[in-house]
Amino acid sequence: MPWQALKIAADAKTADTLSEMLMDLGALSVSIADAHAGTAQEQELFGEPGEPPAGVWQDALLEALFDADVDIAAVVADAAAMAGLENVPVYTVEAVAEQDWVRQTQAQFDPIPISPRLWIVPTWHESPDPSAINIILDPGLAFGTGSHPTTRLCLQWLDSNLRGGETVLDYGCGSGILAIAAMKLGAADVIGVDIDPQAIQASEYNASQNQVAARFLLPGSHARLPLSEGHPLPNPPPEGEGAMVKVDVVIANILTNPLKILAPMLAAAGLPGSRIVLSGILAHQAQDVLSVYRQWFDIQVADESEGWACLSGIRKT
């Protein structure tokens, strides 16, 4: 079944209202994007937790999908009137042919080389190097395909720094990609934590696909979870009291503000002399995060890629 894609120029004052009106008038979907995306005029928006809502772009582009038989001119005129606009906005219409959307989506994700020995391979691809360490991945609805610079930076750190036998906490595990990589690179025990139940589900599925025994939990349930047999917690508390999990490596690929808020908890999860890896940080935000974590860690910028920074440090004794 073919469709029509309507594209309308809007500004920050009208984009949200027009979007709502188009949905009311029968749009199958509506998206709002920066009209200058991919140019020097592209406007960055980062609505992180703890900050005011980021709003929308000053120059926005709305794209709405309609059935092929819809009168687009009438829809645009009605939407403009309902939104209280004096004039009908500038718009274009393109025909959208019926497609295999699953194949279209899968085509965006090819195998990704992280290092000469480490690859991320989507479940619908064959590995380019069967002899390498291959992480078989189906991201589902969770973040972490290996294509984003922040994920690659963390994977490269793990590839270069894990020596085998470590215990690892992956906080904000998303698709489970970092936890799975840690296991395949020789970690003895890995716990992944995420606030999103769908991320836990995706991580468990991906761990099964890779035949690794990483465990994935919602926040809170990990705090008193003992590590697996053979890797007991140091200085165990009196019987019956449980214990905060302590690990050799803490890794968190989330965002700057959550990282700052979580700093005391992430620091508490590390053993003396343990290592921490933080990503999801824009390069110009790195010093702000470093200033928070230097209470507990000797920490610095480990690497940067495409405007993103990865920090790593050692827990002070």
pLDDT (mean) for 104-132: 82
pLDDT (mean) for 23-34: 91
pLDDT digits (tens, 9 = 90+) for 208-241: 999 999 999 998 765 555 555 444 333 333 333 3
Say if residue 270's pLDDT is above 50.
Answer: yes
pLDDT (mean) for 165-181: 95
pLDDT (mean) for 134-148: 73
Question: What CATH class is the domain 148-315?
Answer: alpha beta
Say which residue, 256 or 225, is predicted with more confidence: 256
- The confidence score (pLDDT) of residue 2 equals 79
The domain ranges of the chain are 3-98, 148-315
pLDDT (mean) for 286-296: 97
35-44, 50-59, 82-91, 120-129: which has the minimum mean pLDDT?
50-59
pLDDT digits (tens, 9 = 90+) for 73-84: 999 999 999 999
The pLDDT-based confidence of 242 (bands split at 50, 70, 90) is very low
The pLDDT-based confidence of 21 (bands split at 50, 70, 90) is very high
18-22, 53-57, 118-122, 267-271: which has the minimum mean pLDDT?
53-57
User: How much is the mean pLDDT over the chain?
Assistant: 84
Rounded to whole angstroms, the Cα distance separating 217 from 294 reads 28
Say if residue 68's pLDDT is above 80.
Answer: yes
- The confidence score (pLDDT) of residue 35 equals 75
The pLDDT-based confidence of 268 (bands split at 50, 70, 90) is very high
Check for a shared fold between 3-98 and 148-315: no
- The confidence score (pLDDT) of residue 308 equals 94
Percent of the chain at pLDDT exceeding 70:
80
The pLDDT-based confidence of 127 (bands split at 50, 70, 90) is confident
pLDDT (mean) for 50-56: 49
pLDDT (mean) for 53-58: 60
Percent of the chain at pLDDT exceeding 90:
61
Place of tokens 């690929």: 253
Q: Provide the CATH number for the domain formed by 3-98 in this structure.
A: 3.30.70.120
